[in-house]
Structure 1
Amino acid sequence: MNDLTVGNPLPWPEGARPEPFVAHVGGIPVSTLSLQGLIDKMVLEAPLRRSLDQPAWLVFDCNGQGLSMNASDPAFRADLAQADLIHADGQVVVAASRWLKGPVIADRSSTTDMFIDSLKPAAASGARYYLLGGTEAVNAECAQRITAMAPGLQLAGRRNGYWTTQDEDAVIDAINAAAPDVLWVGTGKPREQAFCVRNRHRIKAGWIVTCGGLFNYVTGDYPRAPMWMQKSGLEWLHRMVTRPRQLAWRYLTTNPHALWLIWKHRHG
């Protein structure tokens, strides 16, 4: 992972440069940026980075599943290490930073909130989005919904998440032809991270952000937990109850592992 304190050649308006620190949680360096700080950084930086032909920034997320996979899957760990910024998608990650000594993560930056809350600022600034992932029906409906939610939002393009290895060059060509500022990649862990790392130097975008099942949450295909569950770190329980066949085994295995990893790495 690149050091968040150095290496950013882009000019920042006075007072706008974000907090550069990371909190080390469960063996992963997670940005301490708040949700709003992350959105501000993306909306400001992504169009500028693309216009200056800077390499795309890789932005990955960290939650209980990610903590577990980082420790148990060497290929995923290698891909995650290539991120320029890892944000706290899970409330347990935020809470853990407050249990440990060192920098504290400002708040949870769930990918769904990051996306939805960024729509109007992106529309106002002219930042162009590209949606990659989901089924064709979900991807198309998501595109329709967000352009209705944020009039003026520039949707550079979209594509479903189903392609073969032989199709990958064509997928990259289509993205580059659309010239997005932010490419949202929602094909699920670990496929989305592997795709981003493998193609980061071929993709012409300002930021590349992995987003899992985001498009399904925007369309309502996947229900979100009540706000009290989100704030108390129980959104995973809501997801497990509402989608038991897909998620029960994942949460029952990765959550205890993640807690153990947080304890194991508690000294940094």
Structure 2
Amino acid sequence: MTDPGPSPAGPKHAGRAGVPEIVFLGVPIARLDARGAADHIAARAPGQPFAYVVTPNAAQFTRLNELSDPRFHDAYDHAWLRLLDGQVPRMLARRLFGLDLPHAAGSDVTLDLLERQIQPDDPVTLIGGSDELRRRLIERFGLSTVHLHVPPMGFIRDAAAVEACVDFVLAHPARYVFLVAGSPQSEYLARQIDRRGGAVGVGLCVGSALNFAVGLVPRAPSWLRQAGLEWAYRLMRNPVGHARRVFVDSAPVLLTALKARRDPARYGMAPNATGRG
């Protein structure tokens, strides 16, 4: 499904990737589901200048709308493709604004790429992760060239460490560059690579997607994901580590959506995007 057709509220326009987009909570979202996104990414010819993909979820909508983070805005403004990751934002879009946005979770896009699109001889570069992740990727998906650079903890605050990441990407040209340093670090880094120039391939800011794909981290059952309850599954498995992400980083998206319903134009949405469409 590369374009699910007109939405009852909000105009469409083509973004940088040549894909129709619709603005939701200030973010132009590509109208691609996971398979359509994987196909579009894989269709980009090898050797083209570096461009990157971001996958907004509830926490990222919150960072963009409720926090003052110019670097994150800049990273999103220059992204090649923005794919809707979160089921909760998707539900809010449908119920409050009448927008039927396709779901393209970074984990689903990544798995589709690995299973259908990435060929054994396609070079892949990882920024973040582990030797075990690299080993499992090679073993499970038959990849022949996987370069790995693991930056130190807190690297994004160290200019030299950031430059080392950028240098590694330039020194190891790849068709696919997986940035798995967590958000917002991955998005900041993607923008730095883009700004430097000279790199090639598609950068993918996809969080824990590779860990899910190789079985290092279990993913919620599909019925929970479809119900928009993957956050609850992660919270149950790791209540201490995931509580801040759920209740502090993500929950304010509800406030953002309510404010956008009162004043959709402020969030770049069509004046009639009020859910009555």
Q: Determine if contact 1:156/1:178 at 8 Å carries over to the other structure.
A: no
Q: Please give the alpha-carbon distance, in whole angstroms, between the structure 2 residues aligned to 1:147 and 1:192.
A: 22
3-state SS in 2 of match to 1:265: helix
Alpha-carbon distance, 1:197 to partner = 1.0
Asked if residue 83 in structure 1 is aligned to residue 79 in structure 2, the reply is yes
1:193 equivalenced with 2:187 (yes/no): yes
Letter in 2 for 1:158: L
In structure 1, distance between residues paired with 2:107 and 2:238: 17
The corresponding residue for 1:140 is 131
Spell out the pairing of 1:12-51 with structure 2 (5 A cutoff).
Answer: 20-45=19-44, 48=45, 50-51=46-47
- Deviation, structure 1 residue 36: 0.4
Shift of 1:100: 5.4
> Does 2:159 align with 1:150?
no
| Structure 2 contact 151–161 (Cα < 8 Å) conserved | no
Count residues in correspondence.
Answer: 245
Q: TM-score, normalised by structure 2?
A: 0.78
Amino acid in the other structure paired with 2:77: A
Distance 2:15 2:232 in 1: 38
179-188 or 192-201, which moves further after superposition? 192-201
Alpha-carbon distance change, 126 to 40 in structure 1, aligned in 2, over 3 angstroms: farther
Name the counterpart of 1:233: 228
Structure 1 CA distance for aligned equivalents of residues 120 and 213 of structure 2: 22
CA deviations 1:147-171 (Å, max 9, x no partner) are 22222x3434112132543244333
The answer to whether structure 1 residue 251 and structure 2 residue 258 are counterparts is no
1:58 is displaced (CA, Å) by 1.8
Equivalent residue number for residue 128 of structure 1: 123
Task: Look up the equivalent residue of 2:42 and give its one-letter code.
Answer: V
- Backbone CA RMSD of aligned residues: 2.5
Asked whether the equivalents of residues 25 and 257 of structure 2 are also in contact (C-alpha less than 8 Å), the reply is yes
Deviation at 1:244, TM superposition (A): 1.4
Secondary structure class of the residue paired with 2:197: coil
Q: Percent identity?
A: 22
Aligned-residue offset at 1:258: 0.6
Q: 1: CA distance between counterparts of 2:100 and 2:179?
A: 28
Asked if 2 retains the 8 angstrom alpha-carbon contact of 1:23 and 1:32, the reply is: yes
Deviations 1:127-184 (A, max 9, x none): 33211113xxxx2222222222222x34341121325432443333332222101111
Name the amino acid aligned to 1:21.
P
Which residue of the partner structure matches residue 68 of structure 1?
Answer: 62
Instruction: Output the amino acid matched with 2:123.
Output: R
Matched, 1:173 2:167: yes
SS of 1:77's partner is helix
Residue 91 of structure 1, CA deviation: 0.9
SS of equivalent to 1:23: strand
SS in 2 for 1:109: coil
Per-residue deviation, 1:92: 1.8
CA 1:186–1:6: 2 relative to 1, 3 Å: closer
Native 8 Å contact 2:16 2:81 kept in 1: no
Pick aligned residue for 1:222 from 195, 214, 217: 217
What is the deviation of 1:4?
A: 6.7
1:103 CA drift (Å): 5.8
Moved more, 243-252 or 162-171: 162-171
Q: In structure 2, do the counterparts of structure 1 residues 155 and 91 end up closer, same or farther at CA, with 3 Å as the change threshold?
A: farther
Q: CA deviation at 1:125?
A: 8.0
- In 2, Cα distance between equivalents of 1:38 and 1:171: 26
2:176 paired residue among 161, 182, 186? 182
Structure 2: how far apart are the matches of 1:7 and 1:67? 20
Superposition TM-score, scaled by structure 1 size: 0.81
Separation (CA, whole Å) in 1 of partners of 2:238 and 2:109: 23
